[in-house]
A = this chain, B = another copy of it.
Amino acid sequence: MLIVQKFGGTSVGDLERIRNVARRVARYRDQGHDLVVVVSAMAGETDRLLSLAHEITPDPSPRELDMLVATGEQVTASLLAITLKALGYPARAFLAHQIPILTDALHTRARIQDIQPERLREALSRGEVAVVAGFQGMTEEGDITTLGRGGSDTTAVALAAALKADLCEIFTDVEGVYTADPRIVSRARKLEKISYEEMLELASAGAKVLDIRAVELAMVYKVPVHVRSTFSEAPGTIITEEDEEMEKVLVSGVTYNRNEARISLYGVPDQPGVAARIFGPIAERGILVDMIIQTGRPDGRADLTFTVPRTTLREAVRLVEEVARQIGAERVESAEDIAKVSIVGAGMRTHAGVAAKMFETLARHGINIQMISTSEIKVSCVIDEKFTELAVRALHEAFGLDRPPEEER
């Protein structure tokens, strides 16, 4: 098999852990697999480099910032290749520009545009383990870019797609994808399998186990992904195409997100183009609006409520207050103490009543729902932040997630 493996920052946090990774890779080689190994920077290194730059100026030039932080993955890739060779396994470290992995020029959050995997194939055909520095890319002009947080996941899946690999294994510091955050729900269960769509909804709803762009890529290119722990031999969670068995599962997981904040704009006059005037300036600043609810009022005006990332709340409120003055809205309010709780499951497509059961469960525990949004396979509710744990536990139990699928469904 041709396998692309990715090891995160904790997995390569020091030389001893890099040695463990090398031994694990070596065992795969002994079994005859061809391996491309993508590595992150050693835990803490990216933050150390970023803080050096931010000590100089709050606004370092993005091109040079990328050149700076890309050294983190370069160090790990070199050290892992050195370790593999020292163990007697031919290996070759690759930086993004040596493959190359071409991206656009949006420094600090570049997107992969093309991968030419010939050099990797040559290394594999020579029997070498190809060790690749994750997180980084190169523009057509030869500048170094980085893919943003979680970028090494994206590197791994993109390489797996380009190489038509049989499997992409994401080694991390958790055992896989759980029905809920095990720190909150002690009876949370590791999922054996989950569909791309469900994983995408889980990731966008706040589950941090896998970068959302990596899931998107895996879905588009149908790359089977195995999320598993670096520190154990236990199998993790396979992310793959939906199959019949999955469809029978009503709800696969409960997740939450405490990184959003709410802005409410009351008494918006009913006039054409008002939504564009409100959300235009916010979008221009690159602030992502997640949920939006508009409620009509008897007086013909409307109330508008939406959520933004908590870190951008202050800026967003400033922009909205300006627009509110211009259009003659009544007032602007904002709140940081909110949380978004979501249930995700492929089975929702064919089973009615899932949303109703969620609302009923929250109500039974005295939790008020401030906002609701739904997709085909997800229902999200914004609630008071202090109820987060209670809501997650209650939903986990209500949907029988602590019992293995055979029993319940």
Contacts and interface: CB of A to CB of B under 8 A. Distances in A.
A71 B136 CA distance: 14
A61 to B, nearest CB: 5
A75 B71 contact: yes
Contact of A52 (B15, B57, B61): B15
B98 A86 contact: no
5 contacts: A56-B83, A56-B86, A64-B79, A67-B74, A97-B142
A55 interface: yes
A285 to B, nearest CB: 21
Nearest to A86: B57
A246 interface: no
Contacts of A93: 63-64, 67
A85 interface: yes
Which of A57, A77, A78 has the most chain B CB atoms inside 10 A of its CB?
A78
Given A52-B15, A97-B97, A64 B86 contact: no
Interface string A80-111: 01110110000011010110000000000000
A38 B144 CA distance: 19
Contacts of A86: 56-57, 59-60
Given A52-B75, A68-B75, 18 more contacts: A15-B52, A19-B56, A52-B79, A53-B82, A56-B79, A56-B82, A57-B82, A57-B83, A57-B85, A60-B85, A64-B79, A64-B93, A67-B77, A67-B93, A67-B95, A68-B79, A70-B74, A74-B74
A218 to B, nearest CB: 29
A65 interface: yes
A15 to B, nearest CB: 6
A173 interface: no
A68 B18 CA distance: 15
B15 A98 contact: no
Contacts of A70: 74
Contacts of A82: 53, 56-57, 60-61, 64-65, 68
A85 B144 CA distance: 18
Q: Work out how many copies of this chain go into the complex.
A: 2
Contacts of A49: 75
Question: What size tier do the contact residues of chain A reach?
Answer: 35 or more
Nearest to A60: B82
A83 to B, nearest CB: 5
A41 to B, nearest CB: 11
A78 B95 CA distance: 17
Interface string A148-169: 0000000000000000000000
Which of A57, A68, A143 has the most chain B CB atoms inside 10 A of its CB?
A68
Contacts of A68: 74-75, 78-79, 82
A98 B53 contact: no
Nearest to A69: B78
A222 to B, nearest CB: 31
Nearest to A90: B61
Contacts of A64: 78-79, 81-82, 85, 93
B71 A74 contact: yes
Nearest to A87: B57
Which of A82, A95, A97 has the most chain B CB atoms inside 10 A of its CB?
A82
A319 to B, nearest CB: 26
Contact of A65 (B59, B78, B144): B78
A129 B357 CA distance: 63
